[in-house]
Amino acid sequence: MIDVHVHVVNDHVHGDKPLPGHDESILDRPNEELAARVRDQMKAAGITTIFGMGRLSPPSDDPLGVAGTLRLAALIPGLKAIGVADPNHIDAGHLKRVEEQLATGKIVALKAYLGYLHHGPDSPGYVPYYRLAAKFDIPFFFHTGDTWATKAKVKYAHPLLVDEVAVNHPEVKFILAHLGNPWLIDAAEVVFKNENVWADLSGLFVGDDNALKLQPDGTITPNTYLADVAHDIRKAFRYTEKPERFLYGSDWPLAPMATYRKFIEAVVPKEHHQAIFELNAKKLFKLNI
C-alpha cells in the first residue's frame, strides 16, 4: 500500500493551529523517535511506501526543503521526498539549485501550498516549477481546499483555479490534494475534464478511532459529519467516472494511518481498493516496488 501524502518534518507553513491530540509536537521530536513512530504507524496500517512533504523556507543549499525528509528516509524504509515549490523564489541561482536537487532522482514530486502562500496556481512564480516538473517527469501537487491555518487565504486554494493551469500546462501531471475539500464536486469536475489531473484522498478526516464511529459492518455511523463527508466523496468519485485518477493519502499526523485507512476503505467501493491504495500511485509515480 502507498500513502502519497504525509508530513514527517515541520513544514513551516501550516500556521497557528496545533496538531490534534498527542501528536501536537511529534514532528519536532528527535529523528530516531519520530522514525520509530512513523514505522509503527506504517506497520499498523499495512503501508509500505509513504511520500513526505518538504518544508518551506529551507537553507539555500536545500532549495526544495527535502533534506530533513531524506535524513529520515535513512531510518524509515519506504519514505520518499516531495519538494516544496516556492513562488517567491524564482531567481536564477535558486532555480539552478532546484534543478540540481531534482537531478539526483531522490524527489518524487513537487508541491505548492496554495492558500498558505497567498498565490494562486496561475501565479507566474509557479511557472518555472511547472517546467521543471515536466522536464523531470514528476507530478505536481497542489494543496486545495480548507487549510490548517487561520492566516491562510482559501480563495487561492479553490480547486477550480487548477483547471486553467492544467489546460495551459498539459505536459504536467497535477494532483489536487484533499480532493479540494469542501469543494469536492468542483475538484471532481477538474479531474473529469482534464486528462492530466489526479486527486488524492488525504486530509478528509481528522481524529482517531473514537471519532471515526465505524459500525460493526465497517460502514460509517449515519447522521454524523463524517457520514456527510463520506457521501460527498462517493458522489465526487462517481462524478469523475475515473477511479484510475484517485490516490490514497492520509495526511498523517492529522489522523493515525490505520484509522485513516479504515475511513477510506469504508468510503471507496471495494472493487477499486487495489487501484486507489496501490496501482494508481505506482503508475503515476513510476514506482518499481
d(CA 39, CA 107): 20
> Given this model, what pLDDT does residue 263 score?
94
pLDDT tens digits for 21-75?
Answer: 555 578 888 999 999 999 999 999 999 999 999 998 888 899 999 999 999 999 9
Q: How far apart are CA 168 and CA 235, in angstroms?
A: 28
pLDDT digits (tens, 9 = 90+) for 104-158: 999 999 999 999 999 999 999 999 999 999 999 999 999 999 998 888 999 999 9
Total count of residues recorded for the chain: 289
Helix spans in 74-198 (H):
92-102, 127-136, 161-168, 184-193
Q: What percent of the chain has pLDDT over 90?
A: 80
Residue-wise pLDDT tens digits, 76-106: 999 999 999 999 999 999 999 999 999 999 9
Among residues 235, 268, 273, 287, which one has the least CA distance to residue 49? 287
- Threshold 0.85, pTM exceeds: yes
Mean confidence (pLDDT) of the chain? 93
Task: Compute the distance between CA of residue 183 and CA of residue 164 in angstroms, rounded to an integer.
Answer: 17
pLDDT at 159 over 90: yes
Q: Give yes or no for a cis peptide into 253 (omega within 30° of 0).
A: yes
Contacts of 8 (CB under 8 A, 6+ apart): 27, 34, 38, 50, 52, 53, 68, 69, 72, 76, 79
Report the number of distinct structural domains present in the chain. Answer: 1
Confidence (pLDDT) at 224: 84
Q: What is the pLDDT of residue 137?
A: 97
Distance, C-alpha 60 to centroid of its chain:
24
CATH number of the domain that residue 240 is part of: 3.20.20.140
Q: Where are the beta strands (DSSP E) in the chain?
A: 2-6, 49-53, 79-84, 107-112, 140-143, 174-177, 197-200, 246-247
Task: Give the domain range for residue 208.
Answer: 2-285
- pLDDT at position 12: 73
